[in-house]
Structure 1
Amino acid sequence: MVEKICVKFVNILNLIRLEFKRKFGKQKEKKSLKGLFLVILLVMVLYLWFNADSLIKSIF
């Protein structure tokens, strides 16, 4: 009886350890290049937005 309880307890501890390892074991790498690209794209869009009048006048 005591052995069965001990085995169940050990199995529960192993399950908790595996879930913790699965949750925090592999951490995603940060994609700094993607963030830099988005910042540069945002700057370009803002520049074109505020200079749209002068760009349209220079074309036509």
Structure 2
Amino acid sequence: MSKFEGKVDQLKGKAKETAGKALNDKSKEFEGKADQAAGKAKDSIDNASEKAKDKLGKLGE
């Protein structure tokens, strides 16, 4: 997983949310918010993974 994937999910989610608001489609709006949350979660997991790798790398030095 990469930060790129998380950002893409967030952008797609924002587009869905905006479309849902414009079309008064609550389902699409909610789906967009869920996609954004998933993207943010992917970013958080990626950040935690990078920090763990850095810590483990420092232990090996």
Larger relative contact order (CA 8 Å, sep ≥ 6) = 2
> What is the TM-score of this pair, normalised by structure 1?
0.48
Query: Normalized per residue, which structure has more helix?
Result: 2
Provide the TM-score with structure 2 as the length reference.
0.47
Determine which structure has more spread, i.e. the larger CA radius of gyration: 1
